[in-house]
Structure 1
Amino acid sequence: MAIADAGSFSRASLRLGLAQPTVSRQIQGLEQSLKAQLFYRHGRGIALTDAGKRFYETVVPVLAQLDDVRLDISEHANAPGGVVTFAIPPSIGATIVAPLVSTFRQACPAASLRVLEGFSGRLAEWIEAGEVDLAILYDARRGGTTNVTPLLLEDLFLVRAAGVPAPRSTLATKGLDFSRLALVGAGHGLRRVVDLAVQAEGIPQPTYLEIDSVTALKQLAERGEADTILPFGAVHREVAEGRLSAIQLSSPHMKAKLVMATALNRPISAATRILIDLVREAVCGHVAAGALRGRAYGGATRRRA
């Protein structure tokens, strides 16, 4: 094709970066395989024969299609794809999952996102077994099968029905009415944070109503039948709607550290790496907006007004 476009073997050789004898041999071999002469010489160079014109008109569209196919395959090969399985606790999932799904679809249109919700203990089992690509866990440390990266240090809040008088804008652990508290069950990451904070204050271990459902805990609080302890992200909508109130717990121990965890025995795909960046961006954005309260690692701190 380059010879026909250039009009001479010498100019075609320069364009292709090949020696002229090499180009001539390739054309001779092609003509022999086709059993037809493709070019004829004239005073100003070379031109296509009738057979050469038919060959040119047939091959050019085919080569263009091959270029399109090659480009398409290259783009899809380089585009992050596959299925990414993401596990998250309900306390933060209600805030970040919906917008995160939208941004992930835009960033990785060739990939599919599967989101699983569960409490931290179960999520840790999934990540250790290599069943999920990325998980958000409470206060997990790097182990022999997992790698963790700090994400958010969340403030914890006493959550109760709206309209209940609050003694002050913050509340000490010793000021809690433990007889009214309903919490997630022992063994869950958020519960461990509360238990350790109570121990650090020298308070005898209370007996709680245990409910392994953030939704049910919020419903009990809204009905005025119990108080609970949750991060602000779990109740920010209900607080904004005037259905619940949230009082920040002032103890330095009443803070929950969230980390992003990946399995060491599971390769981290390009799509998973993009999801990791999007999760961090989402958390920093929600902290800045006030929907999450605490300090995002790599981001700003948001304090309760």
Structure 2
Amino acid sequence: MELSQLRTLIHVAELGSLSKAADRLHIAQPALSRQVRLLEEELGVRLFARHGRGMVLTEQGQEILKHATRVMTELEEMRAAASETGAPLRGQIAIGFPPTVADIVSVPLVASFGQAHPQAELRLVAGYTGNLIDWLHRGEIDVAVLYDPHAARSLRSQPLLLENLFLIGPPDAGFSSDRAVTFKQLDGKRMLLPSVRHGLRTIVEHCASEAGIALNVVVEADSYATQKDLVRHGHGWTILPLPPIHEDIAAGRLTAAPLVDPVPVRRLVLSYPADRPAPRLARFAGEAITGIVRDKVERGIWAGQLLG
């Protein structure tokens, strides 16, 4: 039994398709098929049931997958224990963030690396969660902060924060942190929101549905900087987390109010690929990001409930 076979099992189980797993891992499909077949022969069980739409784990396959995931996790912990040292590190590290997280985390993160590992080369990448997951799998980034990822067996994730979303308006909207707005009060209001492919839009639409209203979205803009500018110029309201607009609120350029009935929240996690060991620089990045998030929450800059 080889680690490459366990890695293949994890990815095929998650994607339900040899062709998709081959594309993700940059390995020819026949080679992956052979790895699955050899693993089944060695274990003496069928791991997958094949059908027209792809591959589904059998009952035995589900049990084997649990063990495979544990093996990869134990391997990572063993390598981490063997490489612990306090010496400054060199090398390159690529870290991924959603845009709303990048602006609030990047400066203190770079400062942390400058103090502990000044010779390390950082590459900070912003993107949507779906893109970040794909880049993690392809090895283009080493660690990422993700919003509400679907259960992914090929990722090793630790929860960071349950983040509150706020209603954002121009100064004359008069929003205040001590005066909540219900979702029903958004009925008929001009809203400026991300497109439907964006996770934040999904959360907001779900909350509106719970409140029994349909949002009046007059402009879709995936750039939160664009959303801020449009709101500031009086074209409507938007819904965002506090960190990327903290300075705008302090300067009086925008106002914010908590939303209730229901309260919109997003789950923020820190993720590494589960099928390969995380470099020491990636582990340091994860520790630094966790500390930055905690600090921002404790100082009231980031509204939400710490999960880590």
Pick the TM interval, shorter chain.
0.5 to 0.7
The structural deviation recorded for 1:224 is 0.9
2:197 aligned with 1:187? yes
* 3-state SS of 1:219 partner: helix
| Separation (CA, whole Å) in 1 of partners of 2:208 and 2:266 | 14
2:145 aligned with 1:127? no
* Pair 186,277 (structure 1): closer, same or farther in 2 beyond 3 Å: same
The equivalent of 2:58 in structure 1 is: none
> 5 Å matches for 1:265-280?
265-280=275-290
| Separation (CA, whole Å) in 1 of partners of 2:218 and 2:131 | 21
The equivalent of 2:244 in structure 1 is: 234
| Separation (CA, whole Å) in 2 of partners of 1:297 and 1:76 | 28
| Separation (CA, whole Å) in 2 of partners of 1:287 and 1:275 | 18
Provide the TM-score with structure 1 as the length reference. 0.68
> 5 Å matches for 1:36-185?
79-166=88-175, 169-185=179-195
The structural deviation recorded for 1:121 is 2.8
User: Aligned pairs, how many?
Assistant: 225
The equivalent of 2:305 in structure 1 is: 295
* Pair 241,222 (structure 1): closer, same or farther in 2 beyond 3 Å: same
* Pair 205,238 (structure 1): closer, same or farther in 2 beyond 3 Å: closer
The structural deviation recorded for 1:85 is 0.6
> How much is the aligned-residue C-alpha RMSD, in angstroms?
2.4
Deviation string, structure 1 residues 22-54 (Cα, Å, up to 9, x no partner)? xxxxxxxxxxxxxxxxxxxxxxxxxxxxxxxxx
Larger radius of gyration: 1
The structural deviation recorded for 1:187 is 1.9
The structural deviation recorded for 1:206 is 5.0
Preserved contact between residue 210 and residue 262 of structure 2 (Cα < 8 Å):
no
Preserved contact between residue 180 and residue 260 of structure 2 (Cα < 8 Å):
yes
Preserved contact between residue 175 and residue 256 of structure 2 (Cα < 8 Å):
no
| Separation (CA, whole Å) in 1 of partners of 2:113 and 2:144 | 16
2:225 aligned with 1:215? yes
The equivalent of 1:248 in structure 2 is: 258
| Separation (CA, whole Å) in 2 of partners of 1:79 and 1:103 | 12
The structural deviation recorded for 1:96 is 1.6
The structural deviation recorded for 1:261 is 1.5
The structural deviation recorded for 1:149 is 1.4
Preserved contact between residue 187 and residue 215 of structure 2 (Cα < 8 Å):
no
The equivalent of 1:6 in structure 2 is: none
| Separation (CA, whole Å) in 1 of partners of 2:289 and 2:264 | 24
The structural deviation recorded for 1:205 is 6.2
The structural deviation recorded for 1:136 is 1.2
* 3-state SS of 2:173 partner: coil
- Unaligned runs of 5+ residues in structure 2 are 1-83
Preserved contact between residue 92 and residue 120 of structure 2 (Cα < 8 Å):
yes
The structural deviation recorded for 1:129 is 2.8
| Separation (CA, whole Å) in 2 of partners of 1:218 and 1:164 | 14
The residue identity in structure 2 corresponding to 1:183 is: L
The structural deviation recorded for 1:117 is 1.2
* 3-state SS of 1:242 partner: coil
